[in-house]
Amino acid sequence: MRFYVVTIFPGLFPGPLAEGVTGKALAAGKAEIVPVNLRDFAEDRHQTTDDTPYGGGPGMVMKPEPLFRAVEWVRETEGSRVPVILLTPKGEPLRQERVREIASGEAWILVSGRYRGVDERFREALVDIELSIGDFVLSGGEIPALALMDAAIRLVPGVLGNEDSADADSFANGLLGAPDYTKPPEYRGMKVPDVLLSGDHAKIAAWRRDRALEITRRRRPDLLEK
Ligand code: 9WO
Among the listed residues 44, 33, 28, the one whose alpha carbon sits nearest the alpha carbon of residue 6: 33
pLDDT band at 163 (very low <50, low <70, confident <90, very high): low
How many domains, the chain?
Answer: 2
Torsion angles phi and psi, residue 218, rounded to 5: -70, -45
**Best of 137, 142, 143 for a ligand 1 pocket test (most atoms within 8 Å of beta carbon):** 137
Query: Could you identify the atom of ligand 1 that is nearest to the CA of residue 133?
Result: 27
Q: Is 126 helix (H, G, I), strand (E, B) or coil?
A: helix
Torsion angles phi and psi, residue 84, rounded to 5: -105, 130
Residue 116 and residue 10 share a domain: yes
Task: Decide if 129 contacts 86 (C-beta within 8 A).
Answer: yes
Give a yes or no: residue 107 inside a domain.
Answer: yes
Residue 132 and residue 98 share a domain: yes
Is 190 a residue whose pLDDT tops 70? yes
Q: What is the CATH number for 57?
A: 3.40.1280.10
Q: Is 60 helix (H, G, I), strand (E, B) or coil?
A: coil
Give a yes or no: residue 163 inside a domain.
Answer: no
Give a yes or no: residue 205 inside a domain.
Answer: yes
Number of Cβ atoms within 10 Å of the Cβ of 207: 17
Q: What is the CATH number for 202?
A: 1.10.1270.20
* Structure confidence at residue 171 (pLDDT): 81
pLDDT band at 170 (very low <50, low <70, confident <90, very high): confident
Give a yes or no: residue 46 inside a domain.
Answer: yes
Residue 50 and residue 134 share a domain: yes
Q: Is 64 helix (H, G, I), strand (E, B) or coil?
A: helix
pLDDT band at 102 (very low <50, low <70, confident <90, very high): very high
- Ligand 1 center from residue 209 Cα (angstroms): 38
pLDDT band at 149 (very low <50, low <70, confident <90, very high): very high
Identify the residue whose C-alpha is closest to ligand 1 atom 29: 89
Residue 103 and residue 20 share a domain: yes
Q: Is 185 helix (H, G, I), strand (E, B) or coil?
A: coil
Residues having CB closer than 6 A to ligand 1 are: 58-59, 87-89, 113, 116-117, 132-134, 137-138, 140-141, 144
Give a yes or no: residue 125 inside a domain.
Answer: yes
Bridge partners (DSSP) of residue 186 are 191
- Supply the range of the domain harboring residue 187: 170-224
Residue 202 and residue 108 share a domain: no
pLDDT band at 162 (very low <50, low <70, confident <90, very high): low
64-97 burial, b at 16+ Cβ within 10 Å, e below that, comes to bbbbbebbeebbeeeeeebebbbbbeebeebeee
- Ligand 1 center from residue 112 Cα (angstroms): 10
Residue 52 and residue 115 share a domain: yes
pTM tops 0.95, yes or no: yes
- Any alpha helices (H) in the chain, and if so which ranges? 20-27, 64-78, 96-103, 120-126, 142-153, 194-197, 201-219, 221-225
Residue percentage of the chain with pLDDT more than 70? 99
Identify the residue whose C-alpha is closest to ligand 1 atom 2: 116
Residue 149 and residue 175 share a domain: no
Give a yes or no: residue 161 inside a domain.
Answer: no
Give a yes or no: residue 164 inside a domain.
Answer: no
Task: Decide if 12 contacts 146 (C-beta within 8 A).
Answer: yes
**Best of 62, 87, 118 for a ligand 1 pocket test (most atoms within 8 Å of beta carbon):** 87
55: phi > 0 → left, psi -120 to 50 → alpha, else beta; which? left
Residue 85 and residue 29 share a domain: yes
Query: Could you identify the atom of ligand 1 that is nearest to the CA of residue 135?
Result: 28
- One-letter amino acid of 84: V
Bridge partners (DSSP) of residue 87 are 112, 131
Query: Mean pLDDT throughout 90-118?
Result: 98
Query: Mean pLDDT throughout 104-122?
Result: 98
